[in-house]
Structure 1
Amino acid sequence: MSTLEIRDLQVSVKLPEGELKPILAGVTLTVRAGETHAIMGPNGSGKSTLAYSLAGHPKYEVTGGSVTLDGEDVLAMSVDERARAGLFLAMQYPVEVPGVSVANFLRTAKTAIDGEAPKLRTWGNELRGAMEKLQMDPAFAQRNVNEGFSGGEKKRHEIVQMELLKPKIAILDETDSGLDIDALRIVSGGIERVREAGQTGLLLITHYTRILRYVRPDFVHVFVGGRIVEEGGRELADKLEDKGYERYLAGAGPAAV
């Protein structure tokens, strides 16, 4: 059972003029394999900063605290080392990678994580099966990564990656944004399959409760001003749907990104 331990994490962003702007003001959170944690909060609360800091984005500088995965120091790892250790980030805005096909990208990633290349015949079947479950045309496997994909296709591709790579901890940064009702249901189904397998801890970042109608969280954390200000179960998400975030905003920390 893998465990991600975040303790008093403090992060600043590098401004163009070289100054550091504090964003995360001491985040403490434990995510275990088989658990689904929803991080909810208004725009500018620092949710995406948390996601990209865990993944190792160079724009963000950790100024305090610790992050460990199964006892190993995540903050001492490079970005690729974090991925090989079992961290996965589904991006809010997946990037296009011209010249690299989806099939080659995914097989290369799987090889890097497992330490050996998957057998071509078996891998082809796995890739087709994963794409069909997300209702993606298998022909997309020969297209360049995310190039010419719609917003919904990009998000489905992110979940295809997660299903095939089987990470220890998956961070889903607003995977529901930009999805219509049908796409949300399909993407949520992929997330649920990973959740039900019980081998991956999920950190689901979202503004809204609509994805939580399909992916039921074990824990809900309200994120405001760069910190967690309240925690609870699924009922907390329902309360946020009814009353919003306004009551948390008084006295919140500086605006975040």
Structure 2
Amino acid sequence: MSTLEITDLHVSVATEDGPKEILKGVTLTIESGQVHAIMGPNGSGKSTLAYSIAGHPKYEVTGGSVTLDGEDVLAMTVDERARAGVFLAMQYPVEVPGVSVANFLRTAKTAIDGEAPKLRTWVKDVNATLERVDLDPTFSQRSVNEGFSGGEKKRHEIAQLELLDPKVAILDETDSGLDIDALRIVSEGVNRFSDKGDRGVLLITHYTRILRYITPDVVHVFVNGRIAEQGGPELADQLEAEGYDKYTKAATA
């Protein structure tokens, strides 16, 4: 069982006019077996939270803490965070020309586990995982994200999630740009991961449509770098009906 604990996190980013504070004291705890959904308008700091946990150098943590099973995540390098069990599915996955999906996945698995997976069983595992996300086995020979459709990129990230098997998955707008079939496939992959019972999920999204397939334990409303409210799945339904207006007005009042 694992716990990701974020306490009073403050994060700034450099701008032409000097440092700008994006996160203004974020506190939340994700336990194993839980799915937390973060919802909020554009520019509220949702992606900043994801990238700060993962260790993106653009973001400077100016206060607070992030721990995974009591270990200081912020003191770790990016690769140490991955080995510790932090996984980030990016909103806009980057292309890596010349590196095949097969090599990428095996290299990542070797780096995280500290030893290379046995090739015969690994190929079977990869093919089975690709099949579950509706990707042909030949997909593994393509360059990472090069020429991929939006749906292929996001399904590939779910394949990574299943094969690398982290402790905590941070999914930054995994539903972005997906048609209904791809949304269902991606959601099924997230549910397979969370249903293990000893893994946590932080799901960042604008819309409630993915929450029709993935039932969150906790929904956080994120506005102006803070959690404005939190509740159960019913809060997402309320946001669908009413929007974020009352929260944004309160934040700027």
TM-score by length of 2: 0.98
Alignment of 1:37-76 (within 5 A): 37-76=36-75
Q: CA deviation at 1:182?
A: 0.7
Secondary structure of residue in 2 paired with 1:250? helix
Aligned residues: 253
Q: CA deviation at 1:33?
A: 1.4
CA deviation digits over 1:47-88, x for unaligned, max 9?
000000001011110000000001110001111110010000
Aligned to 1:162: 161
The separation in 2 between residues aligned to 1:94 and 1:213, in whole angstroms, is: 24
Q: CA deviation at 1:200?
A: 1.4
Unaligned runs of 5+ in 1: none
The separation in 2 between residues aligned to 1:26 and 1:63, in whole angstroms, is: 10
CA deviation digits over 1:115-144, x for unaligned, max 9?
111100100000000000000111010111
Q: Is 1:109 aligned to 2:73, yes or no?
A: no
Secondary structure of residue in 1 paired with 2:195? helix
The separation in 2 between residues aligned to 1:90 and 1:59, in whole angstroms, is: 17
Aligned to 2:2: 2
Residues 204, 211 of structure 1: CA spacing in aligned structure 2 closer, same or farther, 3 A cutoff?
A: same
Q: CA deviation at 1:251?
A: 3.9
Residues 253, 200 of structure 1: CA spacing in aligned structure 2 closer, same or farther, 3 A cutoff?
A: farther
Alignment of 1:169-208 (within 5 A): 169-208=168-207
Q: Is 1:14 aligned to 2:20, yes or no?
A: no
The separation in 2 between residues aligned to 1:22 and 1:80, in whole angstroms, is: 26
* Contact in 2 for aligned 1:224/1:253 (Cα 8 Å): no
The separation in 2 between residues aligned to 1:163 and 1:213, in whole angstroms, is: 21
Question: What letter is aligned with 1:6?
Answer: I
Alignment of 1:115-134 (within 5 A): 115-134=114-133
Aligned to 1:248: 247
Unaligned runs of 5+ in 2: none
Question: What letter is aligned with 1:102?
Answer: V
Moved over 3 A (4+): none
Secondary structure of residue in 2 paired with 1:4? strand
Q: CA deviation at 1:253?
A: 5.7
Residues 203, 253 of structure 1: CA spacing in aligned structure 2 closer, same or farther, 3 A cutoff?
A: farther
Secondary structure of residue in 2 paired with 1:222? strand
Q: CA deviation at 1:112?
A: 1.0
* Contact in 2 for aligned 1:41/1:245 (Cα 8 Å): yes
* Contact in 2 for aligned 1:226/1:253 (Cα 8 Å): no
* Contact in 2 for aligned 1:11/1:53 (Cα 8 Å): yes
Q: CA deviation at 1:19?
A: 1.4
The separation in 1 between residues aligned to 2:226 and 2:107, in whole angstroms, is: 36
The separation in 1 between residues aligned to 2:243 and 2:180, in whole angstroms, is: 22
Question: What letter is aligned with 2:41?
Answer: P
- CA root-mean-square deviation: 1.1
Secondary structure of residue in 1 paired with 2:189? helix
The separation in 2 between residues aligned to 1:32 and 1:143, in whole angstroms, is: 36
Aligned to 1:31: 30
* Contact in 2 for aligned 1:172/1:202 (Cα 8 Å): yes
The separation in 2 between residues aligned to 1:103 and 1:90, in whole angstroms, is: 18
The separation in 2 between residues aligned to 1:115 and 1:32, in whole angstroms, is: 26
Aligned to 1:88: 87
Aligned to 1:235: 234
The separation in 1 between residues aligned to 2:197 and 2:214, in whole angstroms, is: 14
